[in-house]
A and B are shown apart, each in its own frame.
Chain A
Amino acid sequence: MKLPDNFIYSQSSLQDYVNCPYRFYLRHIQGLQWPALQTDDALLMEEHMLSGARFHRLIQQYFLGLPLERLHNTAEADPNPDLPVWWQNFHQKLSQTISATRFPEVKLISSITDTRLMAKFDLVSVSSDHLTIYDWKTSQKPATKTQLKARLQSRVYPYLLAKEYAALTKANTYKPEDISMIYWQANFPDDPQVIEYSQSAFDADELYLTHLIKEINSKSEQNFIKTGNLKHCKFCNYRSLCEKGVQAGSFSELEPGFEDSDLLEFSIDIDQIDEIRF
């Protein structure tokens, strides 16, 4: 299968493929717009996503060095009453623990089997002997380490950083053992999920990702088959096209930790919103 020109793999597109090869085909190869609901409580989900985006923005502003008082005021004025709490949790329990050299909202790209793999990190912090990836989550339900580890994000992010950290710092050399990934959950600040990386995990991820991407690259159109797992179809906008159901699944049934990847098709990421064409 010929991928679209300029196609770059990401944890999100790979997760799509793993969940349902046909969804990957429709979304990333065909670029098909199919605007059915993804969850039944669409407004609730939208509000959740928008709040999450504002929280991400607030943390980015913090690491840019914007005055703290102004960020407090912004958080307090937010329409979502949870956001000031998330902000306080972040400020009081996490912000001071993150080391001096910090790269918020940073994007890294790596070559893999003649194609590219990209990751956009919420934050990477660099110390003399350690690299830490932070990912902010704002789910109402706590995500367990098992759930998070099962996601492609937990493989792609540390793998990419291990390969491409030199784009951020050339001061030291780092081994995979020097990398950890922290899912910091704004509603559960005392329960961060830490995933330590290692050489063996790196080797396994390299093998897995290379195999996965080769598999996709060599697949013919008709072999992008539909998933048999209807749970995925419940939250997939293509369900009517595949004749896999009518109604979207309930927002409350969504697995915690989904935000920022699966359903962020809304144009709410500030960087993705179209510029005004003037």
Chain B
Amino acid sequence: MLIPSRRTVIVYNNFMQLTKEQNALISSAPKGKTFLCGPSGTGKTTIGVQRMLALLNMGIPASSILVLTPQRTLAGPYQHALETKPAYSGSSVTLLTLGGLARRMVGLYWPIINDLAGFKHPNTSPSFLTLESSQYFMAHLVTPLFEKGYFNSIVLERNRLYSQIIDNINKAAIVGFPHTEIGERLKSAWVGDLSQLNVYDNVQDCVNLFRSFCLENNLLDYSLQIELFRNLIWPSEIFRYKLFSTCKHVIYDNLEEDPPFAYDILQEWLPNLDSALLIFDEGGGFRRFLGADPNTASDLREHCDKIHTFSESFTSSKDLQALNSTIKHLQNRDLDRARQKSLSLETLQEILVVPGDELRFYPQMLDWVVSEVKNLIDSGTPPGEIVILAPFISDMLRFSLNHRLEKIGIPTRSHRPSRALRDEPAAQCLLTLTTLAYPQWQMLPSKFTLAYAMMQAIDGLDLVRAQLLVEQAYQKDDPANLLKAFDDFPSLLRERITYQIGAKYEHLRLWFNQTDKEEALDIFLSRLFGEVLSQSGFRFHRDLDSGRITANLIESVRKFRWAMAETRQDSNFTLGKEYLQMLADGVIAAQYLQSWKQSDQEAVFIAPAYTFLMNNQAVDYQFWLNTSSSGWYVRLEQPLTHPYVLSREWTQGQKWTAEHELAVSQEGLKRLITGLIARCRKRVYLGISGLNENGSDERGLMMRLIQTVFQQSLRGADGG
């Protein structure tokens, strides 16, 4: 369940401020297809939400209304509106992503497609893979190929290598070309070292292997879910009859962030709907790297009866809107119009704030950011109205900001899309203790690792005594008797460690002795958590964060076990050991998403810029750090895939050149800057320092663009 911030509620209560045209759109008869476009902040989602409520007020059954968004967080305003609508009752509106719809339908209609898709065990229920389990199976298939020289010219972390191959097969599904063409498409666009062509051949081999493995073992990765839905379920009469007779009204928000397969479906669906409202954010398309295709999305207007374009921002101040126009004109190289639109220097300095003194070092810039945040909060700004953004948020940056802000009592929340479970102390403790319980896996920890785990496990045990305890207790060479009884310790040592700690250690040791050495890993972890670590006297007791991390870990193991149940492994295979090895290699549990609802909405938000954009909520104040970094616009290095070459827009046979790269960088930067400003109500602060986080001097395109904006205003001030 989503909990949108209080800001959202305020926005959606502003219904009375809507224009006549907007009100007319909301209350129009439930017929016809409408394409609604405009920049961010012009009230499109508000219209979508109010239209949904208006349909309900007209007596349209809620069960016939479907709201689609590219990701679930974007459905938050709709969910919130439904659940706070007075006297809303009866059936319920369905809120889904198209990927979610595909997944549900593949599960539901499996019996009518299972013999058409080439699965080896068609009558058996399929196993749905997560990104994590897909990555595991990819690793399982690709690892033996390294010895044959596959990818030997590539320097890349293993988990990134696997995820890029998976990305390719997913791209083929969502763009709509056969997965067998991936290698050729990538090769045909390549200019450069010829050895890269072999790499693309390697990619194709791995993709083929993966698909065969999935069909052999009834595994449904994302690409198969999409292909089965698109090719087999969507055309089936029985499915269409049910869908078309129950779902009559669709509201599709942030359409531009979905991939082309969504548009193919929608094109065929539209004639069968009573009404549709397609909402398109003109500056959007931030999920390009995930297959978003805003140009194809925009073409859907041709299939609608009415097109509405909103241009007046309900979010940004007039001055910020003017700044956005200047930036757009500058990036389109229309200098005359940029000059005409440029703000006075005084106004510009009011909405685009830079440090008063030149800051040479990065920590000085962070100090400046923190002091400005404090000033805002002291003058009455709620912390939730402030975001601190950077292209990437490293652990060091996150820590530096959190530490500085929390020291002066300012709450923060940070959201990185991924964080490795193995890096969490609670997870490390659980996993270390697990290796003790399963000595037959031969993964026993070092003394220091065990001491650290003991300290994490036993309440009141510090690291010094933990090391003393382990030094005496741990008998790594005797797997049958790994931990010595506390009573067998020398008496002086027992006193030093204390008998109270000794009793807890004994409790843990005896518990280990009676564990079932064959128990499934997730069950073992639940038992260890519930029977020992969360009991009184142990450190997880009433530690809610440890509970959450343990739950994440157990969920990851359980899904891994379920996925593995479908495959026929040899008798030497030990599921738990395999999980631990893959975890250590970073192949699985490399990322888990923290729930948004766990975030304190009334805290300063620290996030990567794209995460904030996809959250799609405006704030009063934004801080942009590392403005001279090229990370704001340069694509991530992806030697095994290519989001543009594998897109539908790309002409096959064309070469991807440096000009293309520069063009997408500039386009990306334009989208990013205008998208951020459109989501800012009052002011942007620019965190500029002479040296960046790594201590080097950088002058990226964003910095240059900002300098040009200031120069324009200076010229205006000079009358030039």
Contacts and interface: CB of A to CB of B under 8 A. Distances in A.
Given A33-B551, A35-B547, A111-B88, A277 B593 contact: yes
Interface stretch (A15-23, A125-133, A185-193, A234-242): A234-242
A203 B296 CA distance: 56
A278 B125 contact: no
A61 B131 CA distance: 27
B306 interface: no
Interface string A27-39: 0001111111100
A67 B550 contact: no
A37 B516 CA distance: 15
Contacts of A277: 71, 131, 593
Contacts of B3: 4-6
A273 interface: yes
Contacts of A43: 520, 523
B242 interface: yes
B415 to A, nearest CB: 14
A61 B111 CA distance: 9
A273 B128 CA distance: 10
Interface string B86-128: 1111111000010110011001111110100000010111001
B529 A107 contact: no
Given A109-B88, A109-B90, A64 B123 contact: no
B61 interface: yes
A152 interface: no
Contact of A66 (B131, B238, B548, B597): B238
- Chain B interface size band reads 35 or more
A35 B541 CA distance: 12
Contacts of A5: 3-4, 80, 83
A270 to B, nearest CB: 5
Contacts of A275: 72, 97, 99-100, 103
B536 interface: yes
Contacts of B1: 4, 6-7
A54 B597 contact: no
B109 A66 contact: yes
A271 interface: yes
B180 to A, nearest CB: 20
A107 B107 CA distance: 19
Given A33-B548, A246-B535, A275-B72, A167 B63 contact: yes
A67 B238 CA distance: 10
Contact of B526 (A35, A54, A60, A168): A35
Which interface residue of A34, A66, A248 has the most chain B CB atoms within 10 A?
A: A34
Interface string A256-278: 00000000000100110111111
Nearest to A166: B90
Given A240-B534, A275-B103, A64 B108 contact: yes
B611 to A, nearest CB: 13
Nearest to B544: A32
Contact of B103 (A168, A240, A276): A276
Given A35-B526, A70-B112, A240-B534, A107 B91 contact: yes
B551 A57 contact: no
Nearest to B173: A278
Interface string A201-222: 0000000000000000000000
Contacts of B403: none
A276 to B, nearest CB: 5
A119 to B, nearest CB: 11
Contacts of B242: 64-65
Nearest to B287: A278
A113 to B, nearest CB: 12
Contact of A6 (B71, B72, B79, B174): B79
A37 B222 contact: no
B440 to A, nearest CB: 20
A108 interface: yes
Contacts of A248: 530
Contacts of B174: 278
B424 interface: no
B650 to A, nearest CB: 20
B91 A106 contact: yes
Interface stretch (A73-81, A140-148, A176-184): A73-81
Contacts of B86: 111
B527 interface: yes
A231 interface: no
Nearest to A115: B83
Contact of A67 (B112, B131, B551, B598): B112
Nearest to B71: A277
A37 B530 contact: yes
Contacts of A109: 88-92
Which interface residue of B79, B174, B548 has the most chain A CB atoms within 10 A?
A: B548
A98 to B, nearest CB: 18
B131 A77 contact: no
Contacts of A271: 104
A278 B292 CA distance: 11
5 contacts: A4-B1, A36-B531, A61-B108, A107-B92, A247-B531
| Pairs A-B, 3 closest by C-beta atoms | A36-B530, A167-B90, A77-B123
Given A35-B526, A110-B89, 15 more contacts: A4-B3, A32-B547, A35-B554, A43-B523, A66-B109, A109-B91, A166-B90, A167-B61, A240-B531, A243-B535, A267-B555, A274-B130, A276-B129, A276-B131, A278-B290
Interface of B: 1-4, 61-63, 71-72, 79-80, 83-84, 86-92, 97, 99-100, 103-104, 107-112, 114, 121, 123-125, 128-131, 170, 174, 222, 225, 238, 242, 290-291, 520, 523, 525-527, 529-531, 534-536, 541-542, 544, 547-548, 550-551, 554-555, 593, 597-598
